[in-house]
Amino acid sequence: MARGTIIELSSGVSPSCPYYLGDSVADQLPAYLRRHTFDEIYLVTSDRLHARFGGALARVLGDANIAVNVLTVREGEAAKGWQQLTELCERLVAAGVTKDSLVMAVGGGMISNLVGLAAGLTYRGVRYVEVPTTMLNLTDGSLSNKQAVNGSLGKNQFGMYYAPLFIWADVAYIRHEPVRQHRSAITEAIKNGLVNDATWFERLEKLLTPDLAAVQDDLLGFCHDVVSSKQSILALDPGERHAGIMLEYGHTVGHAVEFLSAGRLLHGEAVGIGMCAAAGVAVRLGLCDPEVLHRQEHILADRLGSVTGLPRELTAEQIVEVIRNDNKRRAGATIRFVLVPRIGTVRCVDGDYETPVPEPLLKSVLTEA
């Protein structure tokens, strides 16, 4: 796909929003912004990302006679909490944001979650635009409408569903992202195949190498295909209330491991560990063949070059304790998992896409992992 071309898609969830995908298309952003009426742009990013991307993007907007105010926030999961959320909301108001303004998040999932939630809370909702600068946010996080901050007991415990005005996905921002970050994002792409599309999973089995050479050769095309792999799932359940729960495969343990690692593990690395734990649970319950676990471990460890085992410093008891406070928990004390009986299919019984898992069995699997 040629640089400068913009592919117009939609986020796929409900409510949906336009998703503009391209390569080196920053100069076209002012024209897309002018499809909407607004007074000023409040561009929120980090100091590091402002030096890399945000400053140049602000100049593009300024050269197009669009008024831009830049605010920077702290990066990292440790900063994704109530304190910084409150500070950002107050700073937006003090800087002069109005109901007619646009708030623009320039960053990865942490910044987008923080800014999206601040936009949704300020004046009961100020429109915002999402500009992802990581592959994970570009191909996965930005499609969800989920805005949240962490609590003291777990990840993403406080938030809301709040859709962007549109998503501006420019792969130029992710071209020189570290390979480890790309591996983290591709774990979610692998998950999409595991739960819904065996053909996509098999394609990734052949395509992936630890250096991600084939991905870099056609970054725009690959990102387009990853987005499509998630959209095909969202199309089944745009509200993510029924079949859409399959997107949480690996996230029950994954979110707990990510939270406990305090930033040492990337999101996709933690989810990969969580997927292997879920497959281990399914094998122990007699609900899937060990081959599913073996192929999953092979693609993550050997083809992608990512991690599959729990960090030694984490205990099963610690992980289960965090899971008890998971943001998706329902009534009752039973832990529930999305399970994959065979590649491309999620276990569903009477319309329920989650399976109860006995706590002792889960602890046993985690101890082995």
Catalytic, out of 77, 130, 146, 240: 146
User: Can you tell me whether residue 245 is helix, strand or coil?
Assistant: helix
- The helix or strand, by DSSP H or E, that contains position 276, with its residue range, turns out to be helix 267-284
Partner residues linked to 336 by β-bridges: 356
Q: Could you confirm whether 146 is annotated as catalytic? A: yes
Q: How far apart are CA 278 and CA 255, in angstroms?
A: 13
Q: How far apart are CA 308 and CA 277, in angstroms?
A: 9
Burial call 305-322: b when 16+ CB within 10 Å, e when fewer: bbbbebeeebebeebbeb
Catalytic, out of 248, 258, 269, 354: 248
User: Can you tell me whether residue 169 is helix, strand or coil?
Assistant: strand
Q: Are 230 and 140 spatial neighbours (Cβ–Cβ below 8 Å)?
A: yes
Q: Could you confirm whether 155 is annotated as catalytic? A: no
The candidate with the shortest Cα–Cα distance to 235, out of 9, 1, 8, 6, is 9
What angle (nearest 5°) sits at the alpha carbon of residue 181, between those of residues 260 and 292? 75
Question: Active-site residue numbers?
Answer: 146, 248
